[in-house]
Chain A
Amino acid sequence: MRLVLEGFLNTVALTLLAFFGALLVGSAVAVLRIVPVPLLRAVGAVYVEVWRNIPLLAWLVLFVFGLPEVGVTMPLFWTACVAIALYEAAFVAEALRSGVSSVAHGQGEAARALGLTFRQSLRYVVLPQALKRVVQPLANIAIALTMATALAGVVGVVDMTRAAQRINLELAQPLLVFTGVGLCYLVMSAFIGYGARVLERRLA
């Protein structure tokens, strides 16, 4: 029972921390992708293409076994957390960018015509409109991230799925154990979905 609780808490912590990290990094990358400086846009594009086109499992294995080879050894939980955050950041960046793109061109032009700087037009005109459109895509990413935390179990983190596998090793009741775990993930995802709906209504 302690194992179940430990697994559940680790999954929740991993989800929250990694999503928070992904939001931070993803916002920065999204800004890189839309600034009017070609070099920075290229940097943003390379980040997105490199991170989202390599499977998360490969990133996790590279981080956990590769980083110590170059002298960087972090606890397994944090290694997994950073890898998941950097991976999901690529998706967050694209969701944010498409939100910004969805704001009609005329809005940005009008802002510029009024004499607003790039920063001001983003802050006061484009972002407020973009934000409510990205709530649902971001919720999708948050839910995908919740599921992706299960991969951390492969690299030594005791998450909910890993805890379930340990219990099943003794109980030999996979259908029962994994239905229970599935329900836990469902509750977490439903919670994220509910939060997104509330947030969307607030921003509307």
Chain B
Amino acid sequence: MGRLFVAAVLLFVAGCSGGESAVPGGSKLDALLAKAPVHSGEVTPGSAVDRIRKRGKLLIGGSQDAPLLSQLDPISGELTGFDAYLGKLLAHYILGKPQTELVSATSETREPLLGNGTVDVIIQTYTITPQRAERVAFAGPYYRSGQAIAVRKGTSGITGPADLTGKTVVVGANTPGVKAVREAAPTAKIVEFGSDPECVTALKQGRGEAYVQDQAILVADASKDPELQLVGEPFTEDPYGIGIEHGDAEFTRFVNDWLREIGESGLWQEVWKLSIGTVVTGDAPAPPAIAS
């Protein structure tokens, strides 16, 4: 609900400023697209790739409010971030042009959206888990992230996940952080808020002693807000996969081949630098090994 609300506001704002063609960062993506590979092999009639080509655009289930990953820029109306750019590149690989349409997905709707064919892929920090793998197919992992801890500057007594025991912890609703906190500190009280800015505000207002979120997002928050402080290194490892309709082994292999190709050519690292690399210092990490 919170995401929807934020998305609706963003859409409204985007609508108000319609007609502007200046796209910040767009030219950088264009430079990437110029180098991006296009699939040249045979396409099986009736396959997912064939279906997408006939339609002329790739339908992606994702978010509009995930900073650095998939966020709708309210001024340009463009979707920016790591997940968003990968979606553009995948569309370019299949179609020869970055023609995509974002369908707002939430953790409640992802499996049904794939199951009934509303979207071709889900690119939404979709952590690969055994339970989910029974319901959908995963290409990838395309990114390995981890949950980290942020506290108000000057907080003492929290140096790692074990210190969350018995504490109140702010977590983004429906994020992998919920499970991460429950496993690291089963007695911690979890308080969920719909979006990242709400979580940060809640932490600053004392609704919890710590905030657990994807490290990249926390780094971005802390770079804007001097009251925030990151504690230690990420304490989980979340492999994000691209969700595909369950049982479509052919399309999964197709997407995996593409992920391998952009990983080897260095394109993956350039996408990282354009998005997560704008707040996380240092060189781009190596892309994760593709499972199959």
Are A155 and B107 closer than 8 Å at their CB atoms? Answer: no
Partner of A151, one of B1, B110, B190: B1
Stretch at the interface among B46-54, B147-155, B200-208, B231-239: B200-208
Partner of B174, one of A57, A169, A171: A169
Stretch at the interface among A19-27, A120-128, A132-140, A173-181: A173-181
Known: A175-B112, A178-B108. A57 touches B1 (CB 8 A): yes
Q: In whole angstroms, what is the CA distance A153 to B108 when docked?
A: 14
* A168 adjacent to chain B (CB < 8 Å): yes
Smallest Cβ-Cβ distance to B132: which chain A residue: A172
Are A65 and B194 closer than 8 Å at their CB atoms? Answer: no
Q: In whole angstroms, what is the CA distance A172 to B108 when docked?
A: 8
Known: A154-B194, A165-B173. A172 touches B131 (CB 8 A): yes
One digit per residue, 1 when the CB lies within 8 angstroms of any chain A CB and 0 when it does not, for chain B 101-143 equals: 0000001111110000000000000000101101110000000
Please report the total number of A residues contacting B with Cβ < 8 Å: 27
Please report the total number of B residues contacting A with Cβ < 8 Å: 31
Are B135 and A169 closer than 8 Å at their CB atoms? Answer: no
B108 partner residues in chain A, CB cutoff 8 A: 165, 168, 174, 178
* B18 adjacent to chain A (CB < 8 Å): no
Are A156 and B178 closer than 8 Å at their CB atoms? Answer: no
Are A169 and B178 closer than 8 Å at their CB atoms? Answer: yes
One digit per residue, 1 when the CB lies within 8 angstroms of any chain B CB and 0 when it does not, for chain A 162-204 equals: 1001101111111100100000000000000000000000000
Partner of A172, one of B1, B111, B178, B207: B111
* B191 adjacent to chain A (CB < 8 Å): yes
One digit per residue, 1 when the CB lies within 8 angstroms of any chain A CB and 0 when it does not, for chain B 176-217 equals: 001100000000001111100010011001110000000000
Q: In whole angstroms, what is the CA distance A118 to B222 when docked?
A: 62
Are A154 and B193 closer than 8 Å at their CB atoms? Answer: yes
One digit per residue, 1 when the CB lies within 8 angstroms of any chain B CB and 0 when it does not, for chain A 10-24 equals: 000000000000000
Are B131 and A162 closer than 8 Å at their CB atoms? Answer: no
Pick the most buried of A150, A156, A158: most chain B CB atoms within 10 A of its CB: A156
> Quick one: which of A45-79 are within 8 Å of B by CB?
57, 61, 64-65, 68-69, 73, 76
Smallest Cβ-Cβ distance to B135: which chain A residue: A172
Partner of B179, one of A73, A170, A178: A170
Smallest Cβ-Cβ distance to B111: which chain A residue: A172
Are B194 and A68 closer than 8 Å at their CB atoms? Answer: no
B136 partner residues in chain A, CB cutoff 8 A: 172
A172 partner residues in chain B, CB cutoff 8 A: 110-111, 129, 131-132, 134-136
B193 partner residues in chain A, CB cutoff 8 A: 154-156
* B5 adjacent to chain A (CB < 8 Å): yes
* B166 adjacent to chain A (CB < 8 Å): no
Q: In whole angstroms, what is the CA distance A91 to B174 when docked?
A: 32
B191 partner residues in chain A, CB cutoff 8 A: 76, 156
Are A65 and B205 closer than 8 Å at their CB atoms? Answer: yes
A173 partner residues in chain B, CB cutoff 8 A: 111, 135
Are A168 and B107 closer than 8 Å at their CB atoms? Answer: yes
A61 partner residues in chain B, CB cutoff 8 A: 198
Partner of A65, one of B112, B134, B198: B198
* B2 adjacent to chain A (CB < 8 Å): yes
Q: In whole angstroms, what is the CA distance A65 to B206 when docked?
A: 11
Q: Please name 15 further chain A to chain B contacts, defined as beta carbons within 8 Å, in addition to the given A155-B193, A165-B173, sorted by A numbering.
A: A57-B1, A68-B206, A73-B206, A153-B192, A154-B5, A154-B194, A166-B192, A169-B107, A169-B174, A169-B178, A169-B179, A172-B129, A172-B135, A173-B111, A174-B111
19 A-B residue pairs with Cβ-Cβ distance under 8 Å, sorted by A, are A65-B198, A65-B202, A73-B206, A153-B173, A153-B192, A154-B1, A154-B5, A154-B173, A154-B194, A155-B193, A155-B198, A156-B202, A166-B192, A170-B129, A170-B179, A172-B134, A172-B136, A174-B111, A175-B112
Q: Which 7 A-B pairs have the closest CB atoms?
A: A68-B205, A156-B191, A154-B2, A174-B108, A172-B132, A154-B194, A154-B1
